[in-house]
Amino acid sequence: MTVCIGIDLGGTKIAAAAVDLTTGVVLGRRVVPTEAHEGPAAVMVRMAAVVEQVISATGLERNQVQGLGIGVPGVIDPNRGHTLLLPNLATGWRDVPAGPEMQKLTNLPTRLINDARAFTLAEANLGAGKGARNVVGITLGTGIGGGIALDGHIYLGIDMSAGEIGHMTIDPYGPPCGCGNRGCLEAFASGPAIAASGAYAVMRGYTTIIGDLVERDVNKITPDTIMRAAQQGDAVAIEILERSGTYLGVGVSNLITVLSPDTIVIGGGVVHLGDWILGPVRREIARRCFVTPLERVRVVPAVLGGDAGIIGAAVWASQQ
């Protein structure tokens, strides 16, 4: 049995488990609050304590654990093992030596990976892309992330920056994006973008039940609100989801044309919208991709759910 421990570090919670990398079985899962306001040092001590809890829960000896992988929500320096910017955590974790520090605290070889790359690595090796040679992962949530896996290994690019799918330009004259560009995919098809379209429709007085579903409080509108309205036949909600799915489909079509992958795996919090989003994606692919044999390209939802970050981080540790 080949075992590594994976940690999924999030803005509100730390999830950790040991992963049998032969079978993909997750062992001794533990989840604790991040308490990011306490600062990086305190959070790392908390992560180290969770590692001890996982080892104790599984009954493993420390020497049976090959290493520790940590998926983080932001930019890292993979060579030094430093976080450069984790925007969803207090202080931003600028130039924090998280890898070396966690290695000291746990006495385990430790490697950091971006959380969207971890998702891709997990789905490519042990999830919906298992058995495929080339896999593109896309995470739809607060932002849009992703990664590219070739023969089960993540394609890194410069400083592990490859796979920023949410920041490909879809419309050069589109709305500004937080990255500094205009018209990024993330500005059209992320969870906040979908919710913002619903809020705009309500505030402009469009004929829609979206506002009624949140008692006219536009701050409560979510992608799920839009879906519930669409399920009741609301034309405005249906159009919002169709438009967002179409933009996502344009992005996916570009990826297929450039990369010609076997499998595209779509996950994240927004993917539960199902065919409201994936239907337009598939239609757009058929409309735009003519140089790739589409009968050999699968576009599928992720299957590992909330464990993908843990599993991917563990796979990354093993591969290092």
Q: How far apart are CA 134 and CA 210, in angstroms?
A: 40
Residues 96 and 203 in one domain: no
The answer to whether residue 78 scores a pLDDT higher than 90 is no
Let me know: does 225 contact 195? Beta carbons within 8 Å: yes
Residue 180 lies in a domain: yes
This prediction has a pTM of 0.93
Q: What is the CATH number of the domain that holds 172?
A: 3.30.420.40
When pLDDT is cut at 50, 70 and 90, the band that residue 313 belongs to is very high
Question: What type of residue sits at position 163?
Answer: G
Write out the DSSP string of 70-82: EEESSEEETTTTE
Domain that holds residue 255: 132-301
Residues 297 and 312 in one domain: no
Question: What type of residue sits at position 43?
Answer: V
Helix or strand run (H / E) with residue 30: strand 26-33
Over residues 242-258, the mean pLDDT reads: 97
Which tens digits make up the pLDDT trace of 86-100? Answer: 988 999 999 999 999
Q: End-to-end alpha-carbon separation of the chain, Å?
A: 17
Residues 314 and 291 in one domain: no
Residues 32 and 46 in one domain: yes
What total of structural domains would you count in the chain? 2
Supply the mean pLDDT for the chain: 95
The answer to whether residue 171 scores a pLDDT higher than 90 is yes
Residue 127 lies in a domain: no
- DSSP state letter for 277: H
Q: What backbone phi and psi angles, to 5 degrees, belong to 270?
A: -85, -15
- DSSP state letter for 297: -
Q: For residue 120, count other CB atoms closer than 10 A to its CB.
A: 33
113 φψ region: left (φ > 0), alpha (ψ -120 to 50), beta (else): beta
Q: What is the pLDDT of residue 251?
A: 97
Residue 163 lies in a domain: yes
Select from 151, 119, 112, 132 the least CA-distant residue to 271. 119
User: In whole angstroms, how far apart are CA 110 and each of 39, 67, 169?
Assistant: 20, 6, 35
Name residue, tokens 């205009």: 182
**Tokens at 78, concatenated:** 């993979």
